[in-house]
Amino acid sequence: MSAAVLTVKGLGKSFGGVKAVDGIDFDLRAGELLALIGPNGAGKSTTFNMVNGQLRANAGSIRLNGVELIGKPPREIWRLGVGRTFQIAETFASLTVVENVQMALLSHDKHMFSTWRRAADHRLGYALDLLDQVGMRAQADRPCSELAYGDVKRVELAIAMANDPKLLLMDEPTAGMAPKERNALMALTKQLVVERDMAVLFTEHSMDVVFAYADRMIVLARGRLIAQGKPLEIRDHPKVQEVYFGT
């Protein structure tokens, strides 16, 4: 089994007297899709936002391939290889599909070129390549405003891939989607995880999606991690039953 990409230890965050996240431990390996679930107020978003640097943790550590992320600004964390998608699709509607991806590449350019033309050409080729990977190359020249919602989410994935993330955070990626679109997006995510040897941490309301696609899951309740394991191990876990069904 590959080494952990993300190692979280004793992670905590309080807001005033409220312990939103209360000392959680988990890790995540390359090639793994890990679902973070729990009822409203459990601490899922707070955990996400500590990993991406939008919130500063009060306690513990978050290591990406051994590098401590706590205290680093979001942009540096992103540069180190933590990508994210958003709950609300975030593309520029007036730009074409490929221009959206080129924009993302521009903001993360690792290369030096002798002329602007060469740089632009390089980005175009790479952008089309990324669109290929998400099945959107044929629609490269359409404005994003014309796309179906499920296709916007695919473009968003291509945008997130522009940073070549080692870890991708997805906050409710399938919210607002019909079951067929959901499955297509999660199947694509799974394929990217395998092909790129990337790790994904996602939150999800639909248990059908979680059980179908997560390799492992962690369950939060009132800021505490109450269970973790493979979906089948979690399904019948007494603490999870209690939190979700009050039994």
- Residues making contact with Mg ion (CB under 5 A): 44-45
Answer for which of 8, 26, 28, 38 binds ligand ADP (CB under 6 A) is 38
Query: In the numeric block, which tokens belong to residue 71?
Result: 């205290």
Could you say whether residue 133 binds ligand ADP (CB under 6 A)? no
Helix and strand counts by DSSP (H, E) for the chain: 9, 10
- Find, among 65, 99, 58, the residue nearest to 82 by Cα: 65
Could you say whether residue 42 binds ligand ADP (CB under 6 A)? yes
Answer for which of 2, 3, 10, 18 binds ligand ADP (CB under 6 A) is 18
The residue whose Cβ lies closest to Mg ion is: 45
Q: Kindly state the smallest distance separating residue 122's Cβ from Mg ion, in Å.
A: 38
Q: Kindly state the smallest distance separating residue 246's Cβ from ligand ADP, in Å.
A: 18
Classified as helix, coil or strand, 136 is coil
Stretch that binds ligand ADP, among 33-41, 125-133, 143-151, 161-169 (CB under 6 A): 33-41
> How many angstroms separate the CA atoms of 84 and 200, rounded?
9
Identify whether the C-beta of residue 5 lies closer than 8 Å to the C-beta of residue 30: yes
Tell me which of Mg ion, ligand ADP, none is bound by residue 231, counting a contact when its beta carbon lies within the kind-specific cut-off of 5 to 8 angstroms. Answer: none
Stretch that binds ligand ADP, among 13-21, 77-85, 112-120, 238-246 (CB under 6 A): 13-21
Q: SS3 letters for 21-54?
A: EEEEEEEEECCCEEEEECCCCCCHHHHHHHHCCC
> How many angstroms separate the CA atoms of 50 and 9, rounded?
12
Stretch that binds ligand ADP, among 34-42, 57-65, 92-100, 138-146 (CB under 6 A): 34-42
Strands 59-64 and 4-15: antiparallel
Answer for which of 28, 44, 91, 204 binds ligand ADP (CB under 6 A) is 44
Positions in 135-174 near ligand ADP (CB under 6 A): none
Could you say whether residue 43 binds ligand ADP (CB under 6 A)? yes
Token look-up 């989410």 returns 153
In whole angstroms, how far apart are CA 228 and each of 27, 43, 56, 104? Answer: 11, 15, 24, 35
Tell me which of Mg ion, ligand ADP, none is bound by residue 38, counting a contact when its beta carbon lies within the kind-specific cut-off of 5 to 8 angstroms. Answer: ligand ADP
Q: Kindly state the smallest distance separating residue 38's Cβ from ligand ADP, in Å.
A: 5
Strands 18-29 and 4-15: antiparallel
Tell me which of Mg ion, ligand ADP, none is bound by residue 40, counting a contact when its beta carbon lies within the kind-specific cut-off of 5 to 8 angstroms. Answer: ligand ADP
Answer for which of 7, 30, 33, 46 binds ligand ADP (CB under 6 A) is 46
Identify whether the C-beta of residue 34 lies closer than 8 Å to the C-beta of residue 199: yes
> How many angstroms separate the CA atoms of 201 and 131, rounded?
22
Site for ligand ADP, rule CB under 6 A: 15, 18, 20, 38, 40-46
